[in-house]
Chain A
């Protein structure tokens, strides 16, 4: 039961990072790949109907984490207090920039909204990348599962390490590749062309960097990511846009699964003393709560997946970024 719920939590995080990952990527790239107001509008329109539903996967992931593993939720969020606060503020700015973009009038308003969208999306993927790196290394958990320290450094220092920096870079790269392959898949015209070119370069450049990192660390997972990145670039080059996006999404999904399962039964390692690490069983809610969640999850989540798929089907048509003479 506990393992099952751990799998559900990981699945929710995977869905969040893949789905919202591409809309973070579009937020990051759209305003840059669109050269004028019309093209930028086309890029942003590709995620218009989806981003909010994608973001609910974050609500679901954190909610399910809270319900099924209260101590994990508590240790993770209080130990990383400030980075999480920064993340929430960036998410707030981004959501509002997206929704308000088309509601004001004038090109200047939209240009400002686009700038905010790109900046906040960039910040979000950097922070998420750093946080995922921190999850694999753990936090300075004490015997009571809390992190102590002085001032703002207490929760800020874990994300100011070289590993977190590499994580941030990887996060930005993954979101950019997802965004580029998604834009090339979902638009026509100049935005599609530029997104495809970018996906090609990002795919092969990223593959090269990942190969170096993989050989450096001896990690087979990083080498597998390099293969997927290379495949995404190659597929983009040959116009197989859907496959290129799928390869990138598979890479992101695999990376998230790897992060959350890196330490087996330990879900949050303590960097101070392995005995203080938080294990799956310690963190889990009681059996009755897990049973309730199972009933709710089994009834509700398939429905959610179905109507979200319906939404993607309804808005399946590509968005034109070229100007249509009227």
Chain B
């Protein structure tokens, strides 16, 4: 592998890894806030105990998200300094403002919430976790705006002398139409993975405490609602992407020639066998069964004429499979959640076979989220910022492959160990009996709580 491929691989590895913890944090923060408000309003003990439990999950998940997110903040300079130099004027402010506006809120108020239960008035304490939840959503919006710039560059002008991009309007950057479609889609996906984790742990521990049943059903409802929204928002995102990156949608179906009333393959084996739904791709891409969808070959010819010679075709096989497996994983996850809710309606117990395998459910939305990003990023190739700059032009000049190999091994090792430790810690936290946060007596100097 050359230095470019290695650097791309490293970016993919650390970003996909980071994105396992991000949607979980977004979702768990909102759930913790909701549960604390529920406890505040109803005074039911189970809500307090669940708030504490979800809070612990949030703390350990957020910690991994923070340390891996820090790497993201540095990566653009380390591995992609040419991109940073030429697009820093547009891309940098998004990262800087996300840090100042959202990340500070999350980190500071999460600590206040976690350590401040006995030191803050109840309303203030509840407000701290609501602020954390708002902060995570704000973070997502701003970071997705940065990514949307790479998908569909807006709000910039190229300086003819230096070739650098100059930001023309931050509002336009934030309100990129790709961002407005991708943001709700991303949040819905986050709800699914967070709900799945709660459903999984709730079902696993249901015998030990009745409150876990509440948690399981809350998780299933979150998943189901998230699933429905993911489908709706995904449909909208697909149509926006068809407008700005028609190649991506053509690759998603491996549609080589421009077709009117294009079908969508549910499943395919090579080129000989496929289960196709007539007109579905036209509906997904353009919203009408008779619409014409541009094919890969035509787009390649068009781009070659527009941007100069070269290949503008992404990895079609990866795009094809990641797109439908993403949809499949999401739909299956939502269906399982709906089935669980149905079988446990009005106090019924779920069948044994279901409770036995349900703890594995987070794998489905996790796969859906990862495949979604894999599709989004790989099917944008060869562009780093669509239509204006290629990935190969973004890499740091001078970077050597041995440096990237060394750092990739370092990240893979440390991240691998972190994942194992995180998993065992979550399992351990779930095994402990649910307890309300013990209120330490107010005395000065206070005894050190085990932190």
Contacts and interface: CB of A to CB of B under 8 A. Distances in A.
Interface of A: 38, 41-42, 44-45, 48-50, 52-53, 55-56, 58-60, 62-64, 66-68, 70-71, 73-79, 81-82, 84-86, 88-89, 91-93, 95-96, 98-105, 110, 142, 144-152, 154-155, 188, 285-286, 288-289, 292-293, 296-297, 300-301, 304, 307-308, 310-311, 314-315, 317-321, 324
Contacts of A150: 400
23 contacts: A41-B451, A49-B114, A59-B70, A60-B99, A60-B104, A64-B100, A66-B77, A66-B91, A75-B81, A77-B78, A78-B78, A88-B70, A92-B418, A96-B64, A103-B428, A105-B428, A144-B397, A152-B402, A286-B159, A289-B90, A293-B97, A307-B105, A308-B108
A304 B414 contact: no
A296 B97 contact: yes
Given A88-B70, A100-B60, A286-B167, A82 B448 contact: no
Contacts of B87: 70
B307 interface: no
Contacts of B60: 99-100, 103
| Top-4 shortest CB links A-B | A70-B88, A77-B77, A67-B92, A99-B63
B99 A63 contact: yes
Contacts of B167: 285-286, 288-289, 292
Interface in B351-397: 396-397
A44 B449 CA distance: 10
A162 to B, nearest CB: 23
B88 A315 contact: no
B397 A146 contact: yes
A48 B63 contact: no
Contact of A78 (B88, B399, B448): B399
B85 interface: yes
B446 A56 contact: no
B100 A82 contact: no
A296 B447 CA distance: 41
Interface string B75-116: 011110110110111111101111111011101111110111
Given A52-B107, A146-B398, A289-B166, A74 B85 contact: yes
Contact of B451 (A45, A78, A149, A297): A45
B421 interface: yes
B111 A53 contact: yes
Contacts of B85: 70-71, 74, 145
Nearest to A148: B398
Interface string B413-444: 01100100100010011000000000000001
Nearest to A50: B111
B96 A63 contact: yes
Contacts of B411: 85, 89
A319 B445 CA distance: 7
A92 B68 contact: yes
Contacts of B415: 92
A144 B163 CA distance: 14
B397 A311 contact: no
B71 interface: yes
B428 A300 contact: no
A98 B62 CA distance: 12
Contacts of A310: 112
Contacts of A98: 63
B398 A42 contact: no
Given A89-B411, A95-B66, A315-B115, A59 B170 contact: no
Contacts of B397: 78, 144, 146, 148
A89 to B, nearest CB: 5
Main secondary structure of the interface of A (DSSP, over half): helix
A41 B446 CA distance: 13
A199 B116 CA distance: 30
B74 interface: yes
Given A70-B92, A82-B406, 15 more contacts: A38-B448, A42-B448, A63-B100, A68-B96, A74-B85, A78-B396, A82-B403, A91-B70, A100-B421, A104-B425, A146-B81, A146-B398, A307-B109, A317-B444, A320-B445
Q: Give the residue among A76, A78, A96, A154 with the most B Cβ atoms within 10 A.
A: A78
B398 A154 contact: yes
B246 to A, nearest CB: 31
A84 to B, nearest CB: 6
Contact of B95 (A66, A103, A146, A319): A66
Given A76-B77, A92-B70, A146-B398, A48 B406 contact: no
Interface of B: 56, 59-60, 62-64, 66-71, 73-74, 76-79, 81-82, 84-85, 87-93, 95-101, 103-105, 107-112, 114-116, 119-120, 159, 166-168, 170, 396-400, 402-403, 406-407, 410-411, 414-415, 418, 421, 425, 428-429, 444-451
Given A77-B78, A85-B410, A99-B59, A48 B451 contact: yes
B6 to A, nearest CB: 12
Nearest to B110: A52
A67 B95 contact: yes
A314 B96 contact: no
A188 B446 CA distance: 10
A320 B444 CA distance: 9
Given A71-B85, A81-B403, A92-B418, A292 B95 contact: no
B364 to A, nearest CB: 26
Contacts of A74: 77, 81-82, 84-85, 88, 396
Contacts of B69: 59
A77 B74 contact: yes
A177 to B, nearest CB: 23
Contacts of B107: 52-53, 55-56
A304 B451 contact: no
Contacts of B78: 77-78, 81, 84-85
A321 B284 CA distance: 63
B63 A100 contact: yes
Contacts of B166: 286, 288-289
A84 B100 contact: no
Contact of B89 (A285, A317, A318): A285
Nearest to A58: B70
B279 to A, nearest CB: 45
Contact of A314 (B74, B110, B116, B450): B116
Contacts of B71: 88, 92
Given A78-B399, A154-B403, A292 B170 contact: yes
A241 B74 CA distance: 36
B414 A92 contact: yes
A92 B67 contact: yes
A80 to B, nearest CB: 8
